Protein backbone atom coordinates (compact mmCIF):
# COMPACT_ATOMS: atom_id res chain seq x y z
CA UNK A 1 0.00 0.00 0.00
CA UNK A 2 1.29 3.43 -0.83
CA UNK A 3 0.13 6.85 0.32
CA UNK A 4 1.91 9.64 -1.43
CA UNK A 5 2.29 13.18 -0.14
CA UNK A 6 4.27 15.88 -1.86
CA UNK A 7 7.89 16.40 -1.01
CA UNK A 8 7.91 14.80 2.44
CA UNK A 9 10.60 12.66 3.98
CA UNK A 10 10.20 8.99 3.22
CA UNK A 11 9.02 6.68 5.96
CA UNK A 12 8.65 2.94 5.62
CA UNK A 13 6.20 1.49 8.12
CA UNK A 14 6.62 -2.22 8.81
CA UNK A 15 3.55 -3.34 10.75
CA UNK A 16 1.24 -6.33 10.38
CA UNK A 17 -1.54 -5.01 12.65
CA UNK A 18 -4.14 -3.43 10.35
CA UNK A 19 -5.58 -0.89 12.76
CA UNK A 20 -2.23 0.30 14.16
CA UNK A 21 -0.85 0.42 10.62
CA UNK A 22 -3.77 2.37 9.19
CA UNK A 23 -3.65 4.85 12.08
CA UNK A 24 0.08 5.45 11.63
CA UNK A 25 -0.18 5.80 7.86
CA UNK A 26 -2.86 8.46 8.31
CA UNK A 27 -0.89 10.31 11.00
CA UNK A 28 2.38 10.25 9.05
CA UNK A 29 0.75 11.27 5.77
CA UNK A 30 -1.06 14.04 7.64
CA UNK A 31 2.33 15.30 8.80
CA UNK A 32 3.47 15.38 5.13
CA UNK A 33 5.66 12.29 5.19
CA UNK A 34 5.73 10.04 2.18
CA UNK A 35 4.62 6.75 3.68
CA UNK A 36 4.88 3.21 2.46
CA UNK A 37 3.44 0.35 4.43
CA UNK A 38 4.81 -3.17 4.47
CA UNK A 39 2.78 -5.77 6.37
CA UNK A 40 5.34 -8.55 6.25
CA UNK A 41 9.11 -8.93 6.52
CA UNK A 42 9.20 -10.06 2.91
CA UNK A 43 7.38 -6.95 1.71
CA UNK A 44 9.68 -4.79 3.82
CA UNK A 45 12.78 -6.39 2.32
CA UNK A 46 11.46 -5.78 -1.19
CA UNK A 47 10.77 -2.11 -0.43
CA UNK A 48 14.08 -1.61 1.38
CA UNK A 49 16.04 -2.98 -1.56
CA UNK A 50 15.39 0.34 -3.30
CA UNK A 51 17.12 2.15 -0.40
CA UNK A 52 14.72 5.03 -0.64
CA UNK A 53 13.56 5.35 2.97
CA UNK A 54 14.82 8.04 5.35
CA UNK A 55 13.32 6.32 8.36
CA UNK A 56 11.89 2.88 9.11
CA UNK A 57 9.25 2.27 11.79
CA UNK A 58 9.71 -1.39 12.56
CA UNK A 59 7.35 -3.73 14.39
CA UNK A 60 9.26 -6.74 15.73
CA UNK A 61 6.59 -9.44 15.63
CA UNK A 62 5.89 -10.02 11.97
CA UNK A 63 3.94 -12.95 10.56
CA UNK A 64 6.80 -14.21 8.40
CA UNK A 65 9.89 -13.26 10.32
CA UNK A 66 11.71 -11.38 12.99
CA UNK A 67 12.05 -7.59 12.94
CA UNK A 68 15.42 -7.82 14.70
CA UNK A 69 16.86 -9.89 11.89
CA UNK A 70 15.43 -7.40 9.41
CA UNK A 71 17.04 -4.56 11.35
CA UNK A 72 20.44 -6.29 11.38
CA UNK A 73 20.31 -6.94 7.63
CA UNK A 74 19.20 -3.39 6.93
CA UNK A 75 21.97 -1.88 9.04
CA UNK A 76 24.56 -4.05 7.31
CA UNK A 77 23.83 -2.38 3.99
CA UNK A 78 22.69 1.13 4.99
CA UNK A 79 24.16 3.16 7.85
CA UNK A 80 22.17 6.32 7.00
CA UNK A 81 18.58 5.20 7.41
CA UNK A 82 17.01 5.82 10.84
CA UNK A 83 15.41 2.72 12.40
CA UNK A 84 12.82 3.15 15.14
CA UNK A 85 11.47 -0.07 16.61
CA UNK A 86 7.82 -0.04 17.67
CA UNK A 87 7.17 -2.90 20.03
CA UNK A 88 4.67 -4.26 22.56
CA UNK A 89 5.68 -3.52 26.13
CA UNK A 90 6.19 -7.20 26.88
CA UNK A 91 8.79 -7.28 24.13
CA UNK A 92 11.07 -4.81 25.87
CA UNK A 93 13.92 -7.30 26.03
CA UNK A 94 13.54 -7.63 22.26
CA UNK A 95 13.81 -3.86 21.97
CA UNK A 96 17.21 -3.99 23.65
CA UNK A 97 18.24 -6.69 21.19
CA UNK A 98 17.03 -4.42 18.40
CA UNK A 99 19.23 -1.58 19.63
CA UNK A 100 22.16 -4.02 19.61
CA UNK A 101 21.17 -4.92 16.06
CA UNK A 102 21.52 -1.28 15.03
CA UNK A 103 18.14 0.32 15.73
CA UNK A 104 18.34 4.00 16.70
CA UNK A 105 15.42 4.04 19.11
CA UNK A 106 12.39 2.13 20.26
CA UNK A 107 8.87 3.05 21.25
CA UNK A 108 6.63 0.74 23.23
CA UNK A 109 2.99 0.03 22.45
CA UNK A 110 0.61 1.50 23.27
CA UNK A 111 2.12 4.84 22.26
CA UNK A 112 0.75 8.32 21.73
CA UNK A 113 0.84 9.25 18.06
CA UNK A 114 2.00 12.80 18.81
CA UNK A 115 4.95 11.39 20.72
CA UNK A 116 5.84 9.04 17.91
CA UNK A 117 5.69 11.90 15.40
CA UNK A 118 7.88 14.07 17.65
CA UNK A 119 10.48 11.30 17.87
CA UNK A 120 10.41 10.76 14.11
CA UNK A 121 10.92 14.48 13.54
CA UNK A 122 13.75 14.68 16.07
CA UNK A 123 15.57 11.69 14.57
CA UNK A 124 15.36 13.08 11.04
CA UNK A 125 16.55 16.49 12.21
CA UNK A 126 19.47 14.94 14.04
CA UNK A 127 20.37 12.90 10.98
CA UNK A 128 20.29 16.04 8.81
CA UNK A 129 22.51 17.87 11.28
CA UNK A 130 24.96 14.99 11.11
CA UNK A 131 25.06 15.12 7.33
CA UNK A 132 28.22 15.78 5.34
CA UNK A 133 30.31 18.58 6.87
CA UNK A 134 31.16 20.08 3.54
CA UNK A 135 28.41 20.52 0.96
CA UNK A 136 28.88 21.88 -2.54
CA UNK A 137 26.01 22.77 -4.86
CA UNK A 138 27.01 24.70 -7.97
CA UNK A 139 28.93 27.78 -6.88
CA UNK A 140 27.90 27.44 -3.26
CA UNK A 141 30.01 25.78 -0.59
CA UNK A 142 28.64 25.14 2.89
CA UNK A 143 30.83 24.19 5.84
CA UNK A 144 28.32 22.88 8.36
CA UNK A 145 30.74 22.39 11.20
CA UNK A 146 32.25 25.85 10.82
CA UNK A 147 28.82 27.35 10.02
CA UNK A 148 30.24 29.20 7.02
CA UNK A 149 28.95 29.65 3.45
CA UNK A 150 30.69 30.86 0.32
CA UNK A 151 29.64 31.72 -3.20
CA UNK A 152 32.83 31.07 -5.13
CA UNK A 153 35.41 32.91 -2.98
CA UNK A 154 32.97 35.32 -1.32
CA UNK A 155 31.87 34.40 2.16
CA UNK A 156 28.29 35.25 3.13
CA UNK A 157 27.59 36.85 6.49
CA UNK A 158 24.46 35.10 7.73
CA UNK A 159 22.41 35.25 10.88
CA UNK A 160 21.85 31.88 12.63
CA UNK A 161 18.35 31.24 11.26
CA UNK A 162 19.39 32.37 7.79
CA UNK A 163 22.18 29.81 7.88
CA UNK A 164 19.84 27.04 9.07
CA UNK A 165 17.26 27.90 6.43
CA UNK A 166 19.86 27.98 3.67
CA UNK A 167 21.36 24.68 4.91
CA UNK A 168 17.99 23.02 4.68
CA UNK A 169 17.15 24.41 1.24
CA UNK A 170 20.60 23.36 0.00
CA UNK A 171 20.16 19.88 1.50
CA UNK A 172 17.08 19.57 -0.73
CA UNK A 173 18.65 21.36 -3.73
CA UNK A 174 16.51 20.92 -6.83
CA UNK A 175 13.56 19.75 -4.74
CA UNK A 176 10.54 21.75 -3.59
CA UNK A 177 10.30 22.17 0.17
CA UNK A 178 6.99 23.00 1.83
CA UNK A 179 6.68 26.17 3.91
CA UNK A 180 5.35 24.15 6.84
CA UNK A 181 8.37 21.86 6.77
CA UNK A 182 10.77 24.81 6.74
CA UNK A 183 8.94 26.49 9.62
CA UNK A 184 8.81 23.27 11.57
CA UNK A 185 12.44 22.27 11.13
CA UNK A 186 14.15 25.67 11.18
CA UNK A 187 12.01 27.39 13.80
CA UNK A 188 11.18 24.23 15.71
CA UNK A 189 7.48 24.97 15.99
CA UNK A 190 4.32 24.16 14.17
CA UNK A 191 3.20 26.49 11.48
CA UNK A 192 0.70 28.89 13.02
CA UNK A 193 -0.63 30.57 9.89
CA UNK A 194 1.80 33.47 9.59
CA UNK A 195 4.94 32.69 7.68
CA UNK A 196 6.11 36.26 7.34
CA UNK A 197 9.24 35.34 9.31
CA UNK A 198 10.09 32.74 6.70
CA UNK A 199 9.53 35.18 3.83
CA UNK A 200 11.72 37.82 5.47
CA UNK A 201 14.54 35.32 5.93
CA UNK A 202 14.25 34.13 2.32
CA UNK A 203 14.34 37.76 1.12
CA UNK A 204 17.50 38.36 3.16
CA UNK A 205 19.12 35.22 1.78
CA UNK A 206 18.30 36.23 -1.81
CA UNK A 207 19.84 39.67 -1.28
CA UNK A 208 22.98 38.19 0.30
CA UNK A 209 23.35 35.57 -2.45
CA UNK A 210 22.94 38.26 -5.12
CA UNK A 211 25.41 40.57 -3.34
CA UNK A 212 27.95 37.73 -3.50
CA UNK A 213 27.41 37.48 -7.26
CA UNK A 214 24.90 34.64 -7.44
CA UNK A 215 21.48 34.70 -9.17
CA UNK A 216 18.84 36.71 -7.35
CA UNK A 217 16.35 33.92 -8.12
CA UNK A 218 18.55 31.10 -6.82
CA UNK A 219 15.80 30.41 -4.29
CA UNK A 220 12.62 29.98 -6.33
CA UNK A 221 9.19 30.78 -4.87
CA UNK A 222 6.57 28.09 -5.45
CA UNK A 223 3.29 29.87 -4.89
CA UNK A 224 1.01 28.16 -2.43
CA UNK A 225 3.69 25.61 -1.65
CA UNK A 226 7.13 26.74 -0.57
CA UNK A 227 10.62 27.23 -1.94
CA UNK A 228 13.22 25.43 -4.01
CA UNK A 229 16.97 26.01 -4.11
CA UNK A 230 17.88 25.83 -7.79
CA UNK A 231 20.65 23.30 -8.29
CA UNK A 232 21.72 24.11 -11.84
CA1 LIG B 1 3.12 -7.38 15.00
- Which pTM value belongs to this model? 0.58
Mean pLDDT of all residues belonging to the chain: 86
**51-54 LR contacts (CB < 8 Å, sep 24+):** 51/77, 51/78, 51/81, 52/10, 53/10, 53/11, 53/12, 53/81, 54/9, 54/10, 54/11, 54/81, 54/82, 54/124, 54/127
pLDDT of residue 211: 96
CATH dotted code for 2-128: 3.40.50.2300
Higher pLDDT, 49 or 214: 214
Distance from residue 19's CA to the centre of ligand 1 (Å): 11
Ranges of each domain in the chain = 2-128, 135-229
Residue 128 has pLDDT above 80, yes or no: no
Task: Please report the pLDDT score of residue 2 as a whole number.
Answer: 37
C-alpha 121 – ligand 1 centre gap (Å): 23
Q: Is the pLDDT of residue 125 over 50?
A: yes
**Distance between CA atoms of residues 131 and 58, nearest Å:** 23
List 108's β-bridge partners, or say none: 87
Q: Where are the beta strands (DSSP E) in 9-127?
A: 10-14, 34-38, 55-59, 61-62, 65-66, 82-88, 105-109
Q: What is the mean pLDDT of residues 102-118?
A: 89
Q: How far is the CA of 14 from the centre of ligand 1 (A)?
A: 9
Is the model's pLDDT at 50 over the cut of 90? no
Q: 1 pLDDT exceeds 50?
A: no
Cα 20 to ligand 1 centre (Å): 9
Query: What is the distance in A from the centroid of ligand 1 to the CA of 30?
Result: 23
Q: For residues 89 and 145, which has the higher predicted lDDT (pLDDT)?
A: 145
pLDDT the model gives residue 228: 96
207 CA to centre of ligand 1 in angstroms: 53
**In the predicted model, what is the mean pLDDT of residues 104-133?**
83
Q: What's the DSSP call for residue 90? A: G
Identify the CATH number of the domain defined by range 135-229: 1.10.10.10
Amino acid sequence: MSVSMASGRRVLLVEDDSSIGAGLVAALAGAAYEVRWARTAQEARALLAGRDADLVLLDLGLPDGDGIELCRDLRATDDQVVVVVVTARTDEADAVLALDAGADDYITKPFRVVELLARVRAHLRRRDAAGPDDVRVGRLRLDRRGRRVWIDQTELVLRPKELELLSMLVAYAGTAVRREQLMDEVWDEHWQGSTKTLDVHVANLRRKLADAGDRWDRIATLRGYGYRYEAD
